[in-house]
A and B are shown apart, each in its own frame.
Chain A
Amino acid sequence: MKFLLHSRVQKSVVLVVGIVLLGIAMVASVLYGIQNFRIATAIEAYTSFTGSNEQLIILHTRVPRAIVAAFVGGSLALAGVLLQALTRNPLASPSVFGINSGAALLIVVALFLFGGMFTFTQMMWVGFLGAALTALIVYILGSAGRGGMSPVKVTLSGAAVAAFASSLTSLFMLIDDKTMEEALYWLVGSVSGRDLRHAQMIIPYLVTGWILSIFLAGSLNLMALGDDVAKSLGQKIVWVKACIVIVVVLLAGGAVALTGPIGFVGIVIPHICRYLVGIDHRWVIPYSVVMGGMFLVLADLVSRFLLMPEEVPVGVATAVIGVPFVIAIVRRRAHE
């Protein structure tokens, strides 16, 4: 396979450049939108707080938004990397594993049974729980019986469970209008309107997922050679697969709990990263976090300008800026 960066120095330099660009993108995300600010205003919001409108917007809208987008984008991309390795399927993403639809189902069920009596925070945990439960069901279905978890089995049970869950979700929404109205907020992925307080509750899980996946990198490289080879090289594959599933739940479950389902990032960023650094997961993992974060921050920024003064859902913007990229990269790659 062809990839761009070969030496370790190149890879490190580009990674650092990526982190700097991520920082610049986040600053831009804080400064630009329907209202544009100067960088001095943003700094003053922290150093000499006066309570002016501008400062409030920066503190309570723009900064949380940039932070949420960066963390969620990175986590979704990384979850995509892990799932593509686990299922050995280049089209795998958190939604294929039923994470998004599971979270949505439990949220809708909670709204249906208890109405709007939950706080935002509680709903967030309901979503997280739903994601975790679905992943557990997919894992059990995909690995019960002889032969353990096979990539195809787990992919298909994931797709079936996801379809089943979203079918039930639409049903609950159809039979009860009130549930539908309240649920729509949760079912459309968005990085805006998320409080820093809520982000702070979820981010530790995401970061734990990042750290754990770095430890998994070596095993992932061996797993890519096939179960038999990995086993003969001393990998406890059942254990490794279980760990991957747990990390995916932390990352994608946390992400969907915070922002709702955001597609495309999880499928596409892993491919872009592999185009840059090859298939070594010790590099793909940090790259996917940085690139995923940068991608979602930029998509969020673009979403403010596409239909000014209205904002389009961030999912639209991810497609708008992502698609040309993917086509270019996929076309450049050598025939596989």
Chain B
Amino acid sequence: MNKFAVVRSQKPLLSFQIHVRSFVIIGMLISLLAVAIVASIGLGSIRIPVSEVLKSLVGMGDSTFQLVVVNLRLPRILVSVMVGAALAVSGAILQALVRNPLASPDLIGTTNGATAAAVAFIAFSNGTYSIHWLPLVALIGGFFAASLTYVTAWKRGLSPFRFALIGVSISAAMGALSVYFMISGPLYLTSQALGWMSGTVYGTSWDHVLTILPWVVGFLLVTIIQSRTLNVQELGDDIAKSVGVQVERKRLILIAVSVALAAAAVGIAGGIGFVGLMAPHMARKLVGSSYGALLPTSALLGGLFVLLADSAARTLFVPLDVPAGVFTAAVGAPFFMYLLYRSKRE
């Protein structure tokens, strides 16, 4: 199936190639995501049959179901999908820039910086400020840590290796800072902070959806427009320069996009792991390493995994609402191992 279909139109002079296999896989993932969303809406302490779910979605359902679907479950599901997509794309960008398969939003300090800021906020605000400010504070923390990494690693240009190694250190420093705040703060803080660190989309509302939606969609579009730059960046600075890419400038923009996506996701949902590291690798096994197809596939996979993880987390241990972050790896890792195993057979 490794073929290209050529699309040409005479009227607006337009011609492009579509990688058939990637196209099919992305189509399959979109349908899978849609099915998963409908199924997930139906599951929970009140079970809702599929027909009622669909009716409620178009606003013609039973009023009880309508309330549960539209006000409670749908926002949470949308937030999980967006968080997953944002983290996955953020990871995919960094893997191209750092040229290291271990790159992920945690690597350059975004996640730990956001966590440190969140923990500090909980510890020192002591209830004087509304908890609604928490996502913003976390976002700022994530940006701060990533900028610190960038500035510290800058020395007549940014070597990916230096960037990664300093990122690990800044990340460790931020982790240490969180622990320090936790120890020096009040006792109840510890459990609150631990919940935050494992990552949860519990209690998200339409406010969250509307806050994160333009942000995530906007930056995803920027990334997809930049996918050719990413392809070139992955080949190394020299090649990128020789084909005419302004390496440092593009790199700064892409890092900023990656941080913006990850920090927003972490701000809303806390430290959901695994997706940022692994979704891009899974996508690579499915559609190859060209970023045009890789980015949408990563985003879909990331969204799908966080959605599945959260669905499992809120339904399997009723009445306990387990943090979704606990399940992302449990859902995703077996699939990744299967892909790893399968790709060896070829």
In the complex, which residue of chain B has the Cβ closest to the Cβ of A332? B155
Residues of B contacting A145 with CB < 8 Å? 341, 344-345
Given A167-B328, A174-B322, is A91 in contact with B344 using a C-beta cutoff of 8 Å? no
Q: Distance in Å from the Cβ of A315 to the closest Cβ of chain B?
A: 7
Q: Is residue B184 contacting chain A, with contact meaning CB distance below 8 A?
A: yes
**B150 → chain A, closest Cβ, in Å?**
13
Known pairs A175-B317, A312-B179; A153 contacts B340 (CB<8 A): yes
Q: Are A313 and B179 in contact (CB under 8 A)?
A: yes
Interface residue from B102, B320, B326 paired with A89 (Cβ < 8 Å)? B102
Within 8 A of A (CB), among B134-174: 152-153, 155-157, 159, 161-162, 164-166, 168-170, 172-173
B333 touches A319 (CB 8 A): no
Please report which residues of chain A, range 243-268, place their CB below 8 angstroms from some CB of chain B when the two chains form the complex: 263-264, 267-268
Report the nearest A residue to B346, measured CB to CB: A146
A229 interfacial contact with B, CB 8 Å: no
Identify which of A90, A147, A155, A316 contacts B176 (C-beta below 8 A).
A316
- Is the contact region of chain A dominated by helix, strand, or loop, or is it mixed? helix
**A290 near B: Cβ within 8 Å?**
no
Cross-chain contact of B102 among A92, A171, A271 (Cβ < 8 A): A92
Cβ-based interface call for B66 (8 A): no
Q: With A160-B278, A322-B169, A323-B169 as known contacts, state yes or no: A315 contacts B183, CB within 8 Å.
A: no
Chain A residues, Cβ within 8 Å of B333: 160-161, 163-164, 167
Q: CB distance B159 to A146 under 8 Å?
A: no
Given the complex, which residues of A lie within 8 Å of B162, measured CB to CB?
330-331, 333, 336
Say whether B337 contacts A157, CB under 8 Å.
yes
Question: Contact: A327 with B277, CB < 8 Å?
Answer: no
Chain A residues closer than 8 Å to B277, beta-carbon distance: 159, 163
> Known: A167-B274, A307-B184, A335-B159. Is A141-B179 also a contact (CB below 8 A)?
no
Q: How far is the CA of A144 from the CA of B248 in the complex (A)?
A: 40
Bound CA–CA A144/B343 (angstroms): 11
- Contact A141:B337 (CB < 8 A) given known A312-B179, A336-B161: yes
Given A159-B102, A312-B179, verify A174-B320 contact (CB < 8 Å).
yes
The yes or no answer to A242 lying at the interface (CB within 8 A) is no
Say yes or no: A175-B320 contact (C-beta < 8 A), given A167-B327, A167-B333, A268-B169. yes
Residues of B with C-beta under 8 A to A315: 175-176, 179
Is B330 an interface residue when CB atoms closer than 8 A count as contact?
yes
- State how many residues of chain B have any CB contact under 8 Å with chain A: 50
Check A160 against B273 for contact (C-beta < 8 Å).
Answer: no
Residues of B within 8 Å of A153, CB to CB, are 340, 344
**Docked pose: A241 CA to B17 CA in angstroms:** 43
Which of B101, B169, B179 lies in contact with A155, CB distance below 8 A?
B101
A156 with B340: CB separation less than 8 A: yes
Known: A160-B333, A268-B169. A171 touches B179 (CB 8 A): no
Closest chain A residue, CB of each to CB of B149: A327
Instruction: Convert A127-156 into 0s and 1s, putting 1 for each residue whose CB lies closer than 8 angstroms to a CB of B.
Output: 000000000000001001111000011011
> Residues of A at under 8 Å CB distance from B?
89-92, 96, 141, 144-147, 152-153, 155-157, 159-161, 163-164, 166-168, 170-171, 174-175, 263-264, 267-268, 271, 306-307, 310, 312-313, 315-320, 322-323, 326-327, 330-331, 333, 335-336
11 residue pairs of the A-B complex, CB under 8 angstroms, read: A91-B164, A153-B340, A159-B277, A160-B329, A161-B337, A164-B334, A171-B322, A268-B169, A315-B179, A319-B176, A326-B168
In the complex, besides A174-B326, A319-B169, 7 extra interface pairs with C-beta distance below 8 angstroms are A89-B100, A144-B341, A145-B344, A163-B333, A319-B175, A327-B152, A336-B161
